[in-house]
Amino acid sequence: MKLRLSVLMIAISLLSYSCRTLGKKDSKEVPSSIQKEVQVGRLLAARLAKKYRIIRDPDFTIYLNQVTSRLTAISSRQELQFVTGILDTQEVNAFACPGGYIFITLGALQKIDTEEELAGVLAHEISHITLNHSGHFEDPEPIIDIISQLLAPGGDIISSFAQNAMGMLLDELLTKGRSKAFELEADKAGVLLLAELNYGMDSYMKYLNKLKTLPENQTIVNTHPPVGERLALLERMILDQKLQLKGTPQKSNSYKTHFNQFMKGRKSN
């Protein structure tokens, strides 16, 4: 009897808690689905950080984040704080986790020659996040989640929902790849974002051209559509929409300056 009463009390408190939570809706309050998106993205980011190791070079990381914030300043996801980090691997790739976490590999940074090319790679990843290519994050069973939180001995900050979502996304990033339609859409959106900031669209195409010669054991080859198809689609879009291929010429190559300093620092360590 006592047990039944306790269960009933817990159920009532849970219901009232969830009603209070669901009932509150300030127009500026970040919805729970976006909070969830950040939670899942952060979890995925921590997983990638463990798998590849993040290179902790503050100066170069600050530079990468400055280029990222220039691009995200005009994006629609102003509620997110975008973060870009370097993964310590020779694989040539970049990853976008939901919630604003972006990673670029050391291998990719070595292929890049200018800030415009870097902006192109980042714009592609930002587009994946902005266009919600990882899906929307509505928790189907929030009550179960809360109950499991309360019953877990010692507590638990990873909900089963977040853990499952993260597992699927990890598989998508490293093995299966996103859908072809999403990759092509991110390419198109990325170059349009570049154009808005007067970066040359051709810079991203130059970078894609460098990926043509990558060996088949590289993850990016198996998780993205063929480079030739991606380039053809971009060329068609630029022609159809009569877009300006070249951006404002850069006075100096700040990317090379920052990158060389970064590599010098790595060698001396």
List interacting residues with other proteins (CB under 8 A): 17, 21, 27-31, 34-36, 38-39, 42-43, 45-47, 49-50, 53-54, 56, 58-59, 61-66, 68-69, 74-85, 99, 101, 127, 130-131, 145-146, 149-150, 152, 154-159, 162, 185, 188-189, 192-193
* 133 vs 224 by CB, closer to other proteins: 133
* 73 vs 212 by CB, closer to other proteins: 73
* 47 vs 111 by CB, closer to other proteins: 47
* 216 vs 240 by CB, closer to other proteins: 240
CB of 87 to other proteins, least distance (A): 10
CB of 250 to other proteins, least distance (A): 19
* 135 vs 212 by CB, closer to other proteins: 135
CB of 261 to other proteins, least distance (A): 13
Q: Please write down the HEC assignment for all residues of the chain.
A: CHHHHHHHHHHHHHHHHHHHHHHCCCCCCCCHHHHHHHHHHHHHHHHHHHHHCECCCHHHHHHHHHHHHHHHCCCCCCCCCCEEEEECCCCCCEEEEHHHEEEEEHHHHHHCCCHHHHHHHHHHHHHHHHCCCCCCCCCCCHHHHHHHHHHCCCCCCCCHHHHHHHHHHHHHHHHHCCCHHHHHHHHHHHHHHHHHCCCCHHHHHHHHHHHHHCCCCCHHHHHCCCHHHHHHHHHHHHHHCCCCCCCCCCCCCHHHHHHHHHHHHHHHC
CB of 1 to other proteins, least distance (A): 27
CB of 134 to other proteins, least distance (A): 15
